[in-house]
C-alpha cells in the first residue's frame, strides 16, 4: 500500500472533519482533513512546476510545522523522495547528507539559509506556501508501489559516515497499520505530537498513525517542559509518543498536575532509547499509567511493542509485532535459544530497502533478506524481548544518536590533539551524554575545542567534558579499549 492510499482513509473519507491544529503564520489554526489534502495537492503542482518528478529527492530542514505535512504528502503523491535533515545538524553533517542524497533543493526558512554551503539550492518554506495557495489543484496520477522509495533517512554507522536508509511507501504503510491496530488507535483519539518530524519516531509512528487512523492531531514545534502542562490541559490528548528524556522531564510535575494530566490520556508510549525501570515506576505512581515501551529503528520502523492489553514489562520492549519476524543469532548467524543473548535480526514489510548508493553497507547489513540490527538482546520463553546494548559504541542522548567516531575525527583535526576517544556516560535526564578523552602534550584549550565542535556538529553531540589522559588504553593490536578509560564523574 502507498502512503496516499493509507492517508486517503482520513483525507478523503473524513474530508469535512477537523483533523489538525497547529501554529500557522504566528497564530493557532485548525485544518480539516480535506484542507490538508487540498494543500498538498496544490503544493504538488508547485513542485511539479519547479521540475520535480518521481525519484527526485527533496530535503527539508525545519522544526515541526504544518508545511512539513504538506511537503510530505505532496512528495508522496508525486513519488518524490523526501530527505529529512535534523535541524540541530551543522555544517559537516549537512554537507554530507547533501552530497550523498543530491536533493534538487532543501526546503528551509529564510533565517536558516546561512546553515547551508554556498550554492545550495534552498527553497524558502513561506514562499512555497504562498505559491501553493494560488496554485491549481490538479489530479495526480503517479503510479506508486509498495517498493517506491518515500524517504531517505540518514542514520550513522560505527564506521564511515551517515547512510541514507531507503524507506518505502510500503514500509510506512505497513508500520502505521500495525501500530493503529496494536495500540487501538481510532478516529476518536487525540494525539499530541511533540517529537521531531525529521526522525522516524515522530514521522513514521506519529504522523502516519494520525493519517492511518484519522484521529485528531495537535502539532507542536517541539517538546518544552515549561509549556507542556498548559498544552496537556488545553488539548486533553488521549495519545502521547515520547522518548525517555521527555518522561523524565514530565516527572517534574507536581502530584496534582500529574494525576490530572494522566486522567484524560489513554496511552503513553516510549521508545528510541531505554526507558529506565525507575522512570516507568515513578510515572505509574504519579500519572496512573504504565508507559508502553516499544523498540524500533530508522532502518526498520517498529519491531517490538509491549502489549496494549496485557503485561507492559519494565526493562522489556515486549514481543515482536505481528507483521515482523525476529531472530536472535550468534556471530556465525546461527539461531540462539530463548534466554540467550545475541544480535537481533528482523525481517518484514517494515524493513527498509537498503542504504542509498551504498551497496557495500547494504550487503553488510542484510543476510538472506534479514536485517542485522546491531542490537544485542534476548527473547524470553513468553516472547518478551529485552535489549542489552549494541554491537557498536553508539551513544543515545535524549533520543538523538551520537556516533563517537564522528566526534573523534573532528577532535583529531584540532591543534594539539594527538589521540581522542569518546564514550557515553550515564546521565539521569538524557540517558547518556558523550565525554571526550584526549591525549595532548599541552593542556587542553576547552573553549577552543567547544567552539570548533559547535561550528560543525549538532549541539547534542558536544562532549559534556574533555578529559586529558597520558595515553589511550589499547590492545596489543592497537585497538582502543574504551571500557578501560578512567571513570569520569560530573
Which residues form the interface with ligand MLC (CB under 6 A)? 63, 87-88, 195-196, 199-202, 222-223, 243, 245-246, 249, 271-272, 296-298, 398-400, 429-430, 459-460
In the list 105, 179, 197, 297, the residue contacting ligand AMP (rule: CB under 6 A) is 297
Question: 87, 180, 280, 317: which one contacts ligand AMP (CB under 6 A)?
Answer: 317
In the list ligand AMP, ligand MLC, none, the entry touching 289 (Cβ below 5 to 8 angstroms by class) is none
229 binds, among ligand MLC, ligand AMP, none (CB under 5 to 8 A by kind): none
Partner whose binding site includes residue 155, from ligand AMP, ligand MLC, none (CB under 5 to 8 Å by kind): ligand AMP
Residue 430 interface partner, choices ligand MLC, ligand AMP, none, CB cut-off 5-8 Å depending on type: ligand MLC
157 is a site residue for ligand AMP (CB under 6 A) = no
The item of ligand MLC, ligand AMP, none sharing an interface with residue 422, based on CB under 5 to 8 Å by kind, is none
Instruction: CB nearer to ligand MLC: give 45 or 205.
Output: 205
Long-range contacts of 142-147 (CB under 8 A, 24+ apart): 142/54, 142/77, 142/78, 142/79, 143/79, 144/2, 144/3, 144/4, 144/5, 144/76, 144/79, 144/169, 145/2, 145/169, 145/170, 146/1, 146/2, 146/170, 146/173, 146/349, 147/353
Angle at 22 between CA 42 and CA 431, to 5 degrees: 115
Q: Give yes or no for residue 295 binding ligand AMP (CB under 6 A).
A: yes
Nine-digit cell string for 7: 492517508
Question: Taking a C-beta distance cutoff of 8 angstroms, is the pair 270, 302 a contact?
Answer: no
Q: Which does 373 bind (CB under 5 to 8 A by kind): ligand AMP, ligand MLC, none?
A: ligand AMP
88 binds, among ligand MLC, ligand AMP, none (CB under 5 to 8 A by kind): ligand MLC
Tell me the residue number closest to ligand MLC, measured at CB. 398
Return the one option of ligand MLC, ligand AMP, none that residue 390 interacts with (CB less than 5 to 8 A, by type).
ligand AMP
Question: How far is residue 217's CA from residue 235's CA, in Å, rounded to a whole number?
Answer: 10
Minimal distance, residue 171 CB to ligand AMP, in Å:
13
- Measured CA to CA, the distance from residue 452 to residue 460 in angstroms comes to 14
d(CA 450, CA 57): 34
Task: Report how far residue 362's alpha carbon sits from residue 375's, in angstroms, rounded to the nearest whole number.
Answer: 17
List alpha helices for 329-477, DSSP H: 359-365, 404-412, 446-456
What helix, strand, coil percent values describe the chain, rounded to 5?
Answer: 35, 25, 40
CB of 454 to ligand MLC, least distance (A): 9
CB of 245 to ligand MLC, least distance (A): 4
Q: At its nearest, how many Å lie between ligand AMP and the CB of residue 148?
A: 22
* Complex with ligand MLC: residue 11 or 243, whichever CB lies closer: 243
SS3 285: helix
Closest CA to 3 of 306, 337, 301, 225: 301
Binding positions for ligand AMP, 371-390, rule CB under 6 A = 373, 375, 387, 390
Q: Minimum distance from CB of 222 to ligand MLC (Å)?
A: 4
Residues in the chain: 490
| Only segment of 40-48, 248-256, 270-278, 461-469 that touches ligand AMP (CB under 6 A) | 270-278
Burial class (CB in 10 A: 0-12, 13-18, 19+), 482: middle
Per CB under 6 A, contacts with ligand AMP among 77-106 are none
Of 300, 306, 304, whose CA–CA distance to 370 is shortest?
300
Which residue ranges make up the site for ligand AMP (CB under 6 A)?
155, 271-274, 293, 295-298, 317, 373, 375, 387, 390, 396, 401
Amino acid at each position: 500500500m502507498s502512503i496516499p492510499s493509507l492517508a486517503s482513509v482520513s483525507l478523503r473519507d473524513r474530508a469535512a472533519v477537523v483533523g489538525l491544529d497547529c501554529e500557522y503564520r504566528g497564530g493557532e489554526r485548525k485544518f480539516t482533513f480535506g484542507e490538508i489534502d487540498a494543500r498538498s495537492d496544490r503544493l504538488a503542482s508547485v513542485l511539479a512546476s519547479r521540475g520535480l518528478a518521481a525519484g527526485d529527492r527533496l530535503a527539508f530542514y525545519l522544526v515541526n510545522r504544518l508545511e512539513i505535512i504538506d511537503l510530505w504528502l505532496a512528495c508522496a503523491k508525486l513519488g518524490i523522495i523526501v530527505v529529512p535533515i535534523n535541524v540541530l545538524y551543522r555544517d559537516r553533517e549537512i554537507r554530507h547528507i547533501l552530497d550523498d542524497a543530491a536533493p534538487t533543493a532543501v526546503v528551509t526558512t529564510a533565517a536558516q539559509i546561512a546553515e547551508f554551503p554556498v550554492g545550495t539550492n534552498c527553497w524558502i518554506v513561506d514562499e512555497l506556501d504562498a505559491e501553493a495557495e494560488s496554485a491549481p489543484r490538479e489530479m495526480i496520477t503517479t503510479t506508486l508501489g509498495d517498493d517506491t522509495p518515500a524517504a531517505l533517512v540518514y542514520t550513522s554507522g560505527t564506521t564511515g559516515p551517515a547512510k541514507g536508509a531507503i524507506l518505502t511507501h510500503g514500509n510506512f504503510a505497513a508500520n502505521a497499520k500495525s501500530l493503529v491496530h496494536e495500540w487501538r488507535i481510532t478516529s476518536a483519539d487525540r494525539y499530541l505530537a511533540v517529537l521531531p518530524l525529521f526522525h522516524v519516531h515522530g514521522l513514521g509512528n506519529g504522523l502516519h498513525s494520525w493519517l492511518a487512523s484519522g484521529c485528531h492531531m495537535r502539532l507542536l514545534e517541539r517538546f518544552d517542559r515549561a509549556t507542556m502542562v498548559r498544552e496537556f490541559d488545553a488539548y486533553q490528548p488521549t495519545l502521547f509518543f515520547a522518548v525517555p528524556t521527555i518522561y523524565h522531564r514530565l516527572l517534574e510535575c507536581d502530584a496534582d498536575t500529574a494525576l490530572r494530566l494522566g486522567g484524560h490520556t489513554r496511552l503513553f508510549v516510549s521508545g528510541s532509547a531505554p526507558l529506565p525501570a525507575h522512570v516507568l515506576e515513578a510515572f505509574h505512581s504519579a500519572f496512573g499509567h504504565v508507559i508502553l515501551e516499544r523498540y524500533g529503528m530508522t532502518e526498520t520502523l517498529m519491531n517490538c511493542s509491549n502489549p496494549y492489553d496485557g503485561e507492559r514489562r519494565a526493562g522489556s520492549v515486549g514481543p515482536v509485532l505481528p507483521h515482523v519476524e525476529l531472530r536472535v543469532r550468534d556471530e556465525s548467524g546461527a539461531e540462539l535459544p530463548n534466554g540467550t543473548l545475541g544480535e537481533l535480526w528482523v525481517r518484514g514489510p517494515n524493513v527498509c530497502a537498503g542504504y542509498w548508493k551504498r551497496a557495500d553497507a547494504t550487503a553488510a547489513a542484510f543476510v538472506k533478506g534479514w536485517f542485522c540490527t546491531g542490537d544485542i538482546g534476548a527473547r524470553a520463553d513468553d516472547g518478551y524481548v529485552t535489549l542489552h546494548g549494541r554491537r557498536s559504541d553508539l551513544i543515545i542522548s535524549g533520543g538523538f544518536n551520537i556516533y563517537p567516531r564522528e566526534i573523534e575525527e573532528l577532535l583529531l583535526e584540532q591543534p594539539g590533539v594527538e589521540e581522542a576517544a569518546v564514550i557515553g556516560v550515564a546521565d539521569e535526564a538524557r540517558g547518556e551524554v558523550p565525554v571526550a578523552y584526549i591525549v595532548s602534550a599541552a593542556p587542553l584549550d576547552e573553549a577552543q575545542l567547544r567552539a570548533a565542535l559547535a561550528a560543525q556538529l549538532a549541539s547534542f553531540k558536544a562532549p559534556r567534558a574533555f578529559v586529558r589522559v597520558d595515553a589511550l588504553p589499547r590492545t596489543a593490536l592497537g585497538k582502543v579499549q574504551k571500557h578501560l578509560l578512567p571513570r569520569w564523574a560530573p
